[in-house]
Amino acid sequence: MRIPIKKILLATLLLNIFFICKAQTVDFSFQNPNLSIEERAEILVSQMTTEEKMKQLLSSAPGIDRLEVPSYDWWNEALHGISRNGKATIFPQGIAIGASFDPVLAKKLASAISTEARAKYVISQSMGNRGKYAGLTFWTPNVNIFRDPRWGRGQETYGEDPYLMSKIGVAFVNGLQGENSKYMKSTACAKHFAVHSGPEELRHHFNAEPTKQDLEETYFPAFEALVKEAKVEGVMSAYNAVYGKAASGSAFLLKETLRDRWNFDGYVVSDCGAIGDIYKGHKTAKTKEEAAAIALITGVNLNCGHSYRLLHKALQQGLISEELIHERTKQLFKTRFRLGILDKKGAPNPYAHLGPDKIHCEEHIALAREAAQKSIVLLKNKNNVLPLSKNIRVPYVTGPFANSADVLMGNYYGVSPNLVTVLEGIADAVSLGTSLNYRSGALPFQKNLNPLNYAPVVVGQSDATICVVGISADMEGEEVDAIASPSKGDRVNLRLPKNQVDYVKTMIEKKKDRPLILVIASGSAVSLEGIEEGCDAILQMWYPGEQGGNAVADVLFGNISPSGHLPITFPKNVAQLPAFEDYSMKGRTYKYMTKEPMFPFGFGLTYSSTKFDNLVLSSTKIRKNKELTISVDVANTGNFDMDEVVQLYVSPLKNTENLPLTSLKGFQRISLKKGEKKNIVFNLSPEDLKVINKKGEKVWLKGTYEILIGNSSPSPLSQKLGAAIPLKNTITLR
């Protein structure tokens, strides 16, 4: 049937009049920053249609012109600098930040990142770039415990200890979100909740069944700290299942624990595609619509993926209600209001003044160098071959990663015009009269094709050889990114690639009496069996960021004394580890491992020497309502200024509740001039002295405990490797 043109025009006119009238009745008071966040979110979302609300639950949220709500893409990354969004400062990878044992530094780094983010956001908005990675809602940090060194994404975390993870994580979130009482600078997101740390290949369908004790002792603490202490704005649900329920559809995780127990008042986002895994991976939903409904009901506000495009079908089928859609949407707009990005024009925002001069500025470049310096761990220094003289006549730099920019960045990286490789850092550090020589000598992970290789011969002709080996984010990382990994990002064993091992062995044979210094790039533990004994010095540089080469040179040539400490245990080999798929903590990390590793948690040498003295406890018999104060004198008895990480551990002498063998309960990073002594004080509250029993309950457990203060975890191996002699005493909990 043909409709007369007059009727079409009339209908169009009436429709336009309808929308004009409707626009005139919009209540724009939600743009008023003086109203409460709750009021503003309710006013705005109440004026949306149900269809508009459902579209806002997707990570790429469309604009609503009649409400003056611009489009917004929630997906943004800032693991160790703004990622995937053009020029930005690249700071050291997460595991390196953990190795610094420095929450103050972590907060500075995150504050610099959010400063650059705010500046970039203004520029992006002005040019109409509202796409992925251009926003202010960062999906970082990763606070999954690094329980097994084979996990490729462990590099993103701060280590294997929940206490260290919590302290660094809280500081990082505080830096990202800022300290303004009204506006957030940017928002952080604790991921991946929960019990998620490999294998990557199984992450879409495996079911984690930790004991309640392991759950509360190991897997939950960092998430709880970020929610309760740092007020983290976002939490990302994991791909895997926990106790038979997909993490993105787990009422136990998202409602009972996160909302009810921890009083979380932020948004929950699914890991990308994780809601679809409820249906296709875990098979706990019969249809895709049901999977979307399960996630919405249990508490996922935001879908990274496509599952929530089916919410209209779930609504039609009666699986969800309009009221639930309204509440989930409102939570998302509370976040956007907290950022101030929906305020009326001209509203005062404390971060509006941040401009392009703050992006990759000199201050941030210097901070990247400082962070890399503080994260480098000196694992060996035979006969004090380090530091080297800057006037060394013939230094030799070699190894597959000596001139590599890739190993500076790790994964989830930004783009910098100022990447300084180890070779470049050394070239800039040594005297102009030095005959610096360089040959790569070996390929990163495959055998050299040309059998003629002069590189090992040069070792015996040089005053010192610096060999940079390791792995890169091509070899370890997330399943979709580690393109050189045969195991989807994870590591089958902990050894260096065979061709690198062979090359190091050849250099050991050729070096005669010349020092060989090994510099290792990696985001995880590396087994050095068969080559450690032939190396005179070993530095672990991690993935050190854009200033990594300068920082390594600063350490090698004594501009600073190394001060990083291991945030993870370095096993001798994979035979020392339990099955990767087993989520029991038995035999894992320094807290439960009974076998002697290659290098222990907390270990790290300096060019100076540390002496601990005068350990004083406020009491040796403690009742549950009393605080324990511990003081110790720490002296620099060597010839170099240094930073030291003073570590406090508590160990049960009688273990009837399957407790950790020992636990880090405090640490302080301090600076000491040569000859200087400082008195360090730790205060442990009654809550700090409680333990998690077999039932997963936090209890005051009477008994005798050993207190140890040193610069490494308790182990005879620590002193054998050169750690300071620790001080010990016992307390009795009554």
Could you give the CA distance from residue 183 to residue 352 in angstroms, rounded to a whole number?
11
- For tokens 């003086």, the residue is 34
φ, ψ of residue 416 in degrees (nearest 5) = -130, 140
To the query of whether residue 476 is one of the catalytic residues in this protein, the response is: yes
Could you give the CA distance from residue 282 to residue 360 in angstroms, rounded to a whole number?
43
- In eight-state DSSP terms, residue 574 is G
Could you give the CA distance from residue 481 to residue 71 in angstroms, rounded to a whole number?
28
Pairing of strands 703-710, 727-733: antiparallel
- In eight-state DSSP terms, residue 644 is E
Q: Which residues of 144-174 are buried (b: 16+ CB within 10 A; e: fewer)?
A: bbbbbbbbbbbbbbbbbbbbbbbbbbbbbbb
φ, ψ of residue 375 in degrees (nearest 5) = -95, -20
Which amino acid belongs to residue 51?
E
Closest Cα to residue 242, out of 274, 267, 287, 264?
274
- Region of residue 412 (left: phi > 0; alpha: psi -120 to 50; beta: else): left
Closest Cα to residue 91, out of 364, 482, 449, 458?
364
φ, ψ of residue 51 in degrees (nearest 5) = -65, -40
Report yes or no: 178 and 187 within 8 Å, Cβ to Cβ: no
Could you give the CA distance from residue 509 to residue 506 in angstroms, rounded to a whole number?
5
Token reading at 298:
């249990």
**How many CA atoms are closer than 13 Å to the CA of 273, on its beta-carbon side?**
6
Sign of CA dihedral 308, 313, 316, 320: negative
Task: Find the radius of gyration of the CA atoms of the chain.
Answer: 28
From 161, 217, 289, 476, active-site residue: 476
φ, ψ of residue 360 in degrees (nearest 5) = 50, 50
Report yes or no: 132 and 584 within 8 Å, Cβ to Cβ: no
From 271, 479, 490, 643, active-site residue: 271
Could you give the CA distance from residue 518 to residue 537 in angstroms, rounded to a whole number?
6
Report yes or no: 521 and 567 within 8 Å, Cβ to Cβ: no
Could you give the CA distance from residue 303 to residue 307 in angstroms, rounded to a whole number?
7
Token reading at 706:
């050993």
Could you give the CA distance from residue 353 to residue 436 in angstroms, rounded to a whole number?
46
- In angstroms, how far is CA 666 from the centroid of its own chain? 20
Report yes or no: 230 and 169 within 8 Å, Cβ to Cβ: yes
Strand partners, 613: 633
Which amino acid belongs to residue 255?
K
Could you give the CA distance from residue 223 to residue 231 in angstroms, rounded to a whole number?
10
To the query of whether residue 271 is one of the catalytic residues in this protein, the response is: yes
List, in order, residues 6 or more apart from 50 with CB less than 8 Å away: 315, 322, 325
Contacts 24+ apart (CB under 8 A), 348-355: 348/33, 349/183, 350/180, 350/183, 351/118, 351/178, 351/180, 351/183, 351/185, 352/122, 354/115, 354/118, 354/119, 354/122, 355/119, 355/122
Closest Cα to residue 116, out of 302, 286, 403, 358?
358
Could you give the CA distance from residue 733 to residue 723 in angstroms, rounded to a whole number?
29
Residues tagged active-site:
271, 476
